[in-house]
């Protein structure tokens, strides 16, 4: 009797193992699915796939395949038409957008100007809570769509001319409007996306219908993958591969292991842990390309310790950027000596002038003459891998200025911003910026103008604000750039932030693909990529 009970008990784990084996036999494929010709690209779980709600790289990568933008950027990051036939304006306020004929949505609907107008109205309407809504704030009537109970449901600045053209009226002239149209918030939405005018179907996001070179294959499989296939009715350059699988990873290191084992085809960002070994691991499959990110240290200009520009310049001169990018970032980033990214039209090298050059002796005498504080704190968010370079920077300041310097970690970036907004003493703090579209204004406006959305450091210079405004309203892009450059010269004098590093895409791919290109917004070019022969 006892023996039998014991036997029943030992049978339990056995049964469990057998049951497991049975579960396992169903899910085949997954890792070995590359054989079918699908190219796999690493992404993180996107937050959203509705164009006007997509603001992070993973979502943007996926919808860049599902949609074609009105304009894209050439090698110099100047706008070129894609889905648009032309984007014109005589006064930079009233813009006429003509669409190319022949575009259809993946469900067969013909793309018309209504699809753009409806999508933009949806994006701008505040109660819809769309993350990229602020892109529409330059269009006339945007304010009427804000607040809890908006006055209007549609933008007064959007007017349909005919099926293939529409007119956009801005609330103020903006020279870079055409450049702005390359951002994914300006994609159209098909009629099938809406259940009623202005109401998006809940199910749309699970399988977005676009007018781009790829269409969805099944639904978005959360935390797992998103599969797309070539859309044969796409009128422009056809993709070289038939299927793409966007595979969702939680950790870049796992994806890196998969690339090494030829289990994943493209890894858009090589994890920091593997930067030192990646060039030898991958050989010529390890690649870099320009990217828009910009890392800098901001001064709390409201704090009297740092209100003197000479103190700020002295600190900048005491930092050896080249050494830090080399020893800590293994040259995966580049030292920065300007206030805007080098990929932009209008970028000039070394706009910080002397203040950007490493010169410990001059730094020390300037610092002492300006009576800089004897203790410097550099605050950073502890969850972003910033400790190493902040500590290195601090050590340089200690050695070169003879001051005490500590790095202070806040748990998260939001904690850091909260403290800064309450004007608590955080000392210097780290910030980063990635552009939305390649225009100098996209750096100067949000980062340094008085009401800039990311100007957390309280920098304000009326002269600078005026120049940026004039630039935005200039009759041509060339003249706009001139104004922006004058504005940048003011920054060099005031030094509200210390530019440290410009980022680049550091990516790798498997032996199964070739022609992997990445754009300045960290997206893989899905049309150019092809299977290795």
Partner 1 sequence: MFRFILRRLLQMVLAFFGTTLIVYALMFAGQTDPIQALAGERPVTAAQRAYLTEKYHLDQTGVGGFFYRYFDYVRSLLQGDLGQSLTGRQIGDILQQAWPVTVKLALIALAVAVVFGVTSGVIAGIRRAGIFDNSTLVLTLLVLGIPTIVLAPLAQYFLGVKWQLFPPTAGAEPSFYALLLPGIVLGSLSLATALRLTRTSVAENLRADYVRTARSKGLVKRRIVSVHVLRNSLIPVVTFLGVELGNLMSGAIITEGVFNIPGVGFNLFRGIRTEDGPLVVGFVSVLVVVYLISNLLVDVLYAVLDPRIRYE
Which stretches of the chain bind partner 1, using CB under 8 A?
2-3, 5-6, 9, 13, 16-17, 20-21, 23-25, 27-28, 30-32, 47-48, 55-56, 126-131, 133-134, 146, 148, 221-225, 247-251, 253-255, 257-258, 260-261, 263, 381, 383-384, 412-415, 417-418, 431-432, 446, 453-454
Residue 129 C-beta: closest distance to partner 1, Å: 3
With respect to partner 1, which residue has the nearer C-beta, 55 or 396?
A: 55
Could you give the angle at the alpha carbon of 75 between the alpha carbons of 338 and 226, nearest 5°? 100
Contact 352, 495 (CB under 8 A): yes
Q: How far is CA 338 from CA 350, 358, 374, in A?
A: 5, 14, 27
Contact 386, 297 (CB under 8 A): no
Residue 247 C-beta: closest distance to partner 1, Å: 7
With respect to partner 1, which residue has the nearer C-beta, 7 or 75?
A: 7
Residue 39 C-beta: closest distance to partner 1, Å: 16
Q: How far is CA 318 from CA 31, 321, 399, 432, in A?
A: 50, 9, 9, 21
Residue 146 C-beta: closest distance to partner 1, Å: 6
Residue 413 C-beta: closest distance to partner 1, Å: 5
DSSP 433: E
With respect to partner 1, which residue has the nearer C-beta, 25 or 90?
A: 25
Q: For residue 323, count other CB atoms closer than 10 A to its CB.
A: 13
Residue 384 C-beta: closest distance to partner 1, Å: 8
DSSP 438: S
With respect to partner 1, which residue has the nearer C-beta, 356 or 496?
A: 496
Residue 443 C-beta: closest distance to partner 1, Å: 14
d(CA 496, CA 301): 7
With respect to partner 1, which residue has the nearer C-beta, 278 or 480?
A: 278
DSSP 212-255: SSEEE-S--BTTTEEEEEE-TT--SSPPS-SEEEEEE-S-HHHH
With respect to partner 1, which residue has the nearer C-beta, 447 or 487?
A: 447
SS3 464: helix
Both structure tokens of 210 = 């676009």
With respect to partner 1, which residue has the nearer C-beta, 48 or 153?
A: 48
Residue 513 C-beta: closest distance to partner 1, Å: 18
68-81 core/surface letters (b: 16 or more CB in 10 A; e: else):
bbbbbbeeebebeb
With respect to partner 1, which residue has the nearer C-beta, 17 or 195?
A: 17
| Residue that is written with structure tokens 């978005």 in the block | 220
């Amino acid at each position: 009797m006892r023996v039998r009970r014991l036997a029943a008990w030992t049978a339990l784990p056995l049964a469990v193992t057998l049951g497991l084996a049975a579960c396992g036999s169903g899910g085949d494929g997954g890792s070995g699915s590359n054989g079918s010709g699908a190219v796999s690209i690493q992404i993180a779980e996107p937050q959203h796939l509705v164009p006007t709600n997509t603001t992070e790289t993973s979502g943007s990568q996926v919808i860049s395949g599902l949609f074609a933008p009105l304009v894209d950027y050439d090698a110099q990051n100047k706008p070129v038409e894609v889905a648009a036939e032309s984007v014109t304006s005589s006064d930079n306020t009233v813009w006429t957008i003509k669409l190319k004929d022949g575009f259809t949505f993946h469900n067969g609907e013909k793309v018309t100007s209504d699809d753009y107008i409806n999508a933009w109205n949806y994006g701008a309407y505040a109660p819809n809570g769309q993350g990229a809504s602020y892109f529409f704030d330059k269009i006339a009537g945007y304010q009427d769509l804000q607040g809890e109970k908006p006055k209007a449901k549609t933008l007064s600045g959007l007017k349909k001319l005919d099926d293939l053209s529409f007119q956009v009226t801005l609330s103020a002239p903006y020279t870079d409007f055409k450049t702005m149209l390359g951002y994914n918030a300006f994609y159209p939405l098909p009629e099938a996306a809406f259940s009623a005018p202005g109401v998006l179907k809940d199910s749309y996001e699970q399988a977005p219908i676009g007018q781009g070179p790829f269409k969805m294959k099944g639904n978005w499989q959360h935390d797992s993958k998103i599969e797309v296939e070539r859309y044969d009715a796409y009128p422009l350059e056809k993709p070289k591969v038939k299927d793409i699988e966007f595979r969702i990873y939680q950790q870049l290191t796992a994806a890196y292991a998969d690339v090494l084992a030829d289990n994943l085809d493209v890894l858009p960002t090589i994890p920091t842990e593997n930067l030192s070994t990646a060039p030898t691991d991958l050989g010529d499959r390890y690649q870099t390309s320009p990217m828009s990110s910009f890392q800098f240290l901001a001064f709390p200009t409201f704090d009297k310790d740092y209100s003197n520009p000479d103190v700020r310049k002295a600190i900048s001169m005491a930092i050896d950027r080249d050494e830090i990018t080399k020893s800590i970032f293994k040259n995966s980033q580049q030292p920065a000596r300007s206030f805007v990214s080098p990929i932009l039209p209008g970028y000039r090298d070394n706009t910080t002038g002397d203040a950007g050059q490493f010169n410990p002796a001059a730094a020390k005498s300037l610092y002492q003459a300006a009576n800089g504080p004897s203790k410097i704190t550099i605050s950073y968010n502890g969850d972003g891998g910033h400790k190493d370079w902040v500590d290195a920077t601090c050590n340089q300041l200690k050695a070169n200025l003879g001051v005490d310097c500590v790095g202070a970690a806040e748990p998260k970036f939001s904690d850091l911003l909260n403290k800064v907004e309450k004007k608590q003493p955080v000392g210097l703090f780290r910030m980063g910026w990635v552009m939305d579209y390649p225009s100098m204004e996209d750096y100067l406006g949000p980062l340094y103008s008085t009401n800039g959305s990311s100007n957390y450091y309280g920098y304000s210079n009326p002269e600078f604000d005026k120049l940026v405004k004039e630039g935005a309203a200039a009759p041509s892009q060339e003249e706009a750039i001139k104004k922006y450059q004058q504005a940048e010269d003011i920054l060099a004098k005031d030094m509200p932030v210390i530019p440290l590093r410009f980022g680049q895409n550091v990516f790798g791919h498997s032996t199964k693909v070739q022609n992997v290109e990445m754009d300045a917004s960290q997206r893989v070019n899905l049309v150019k990529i092809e299977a290795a022969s």
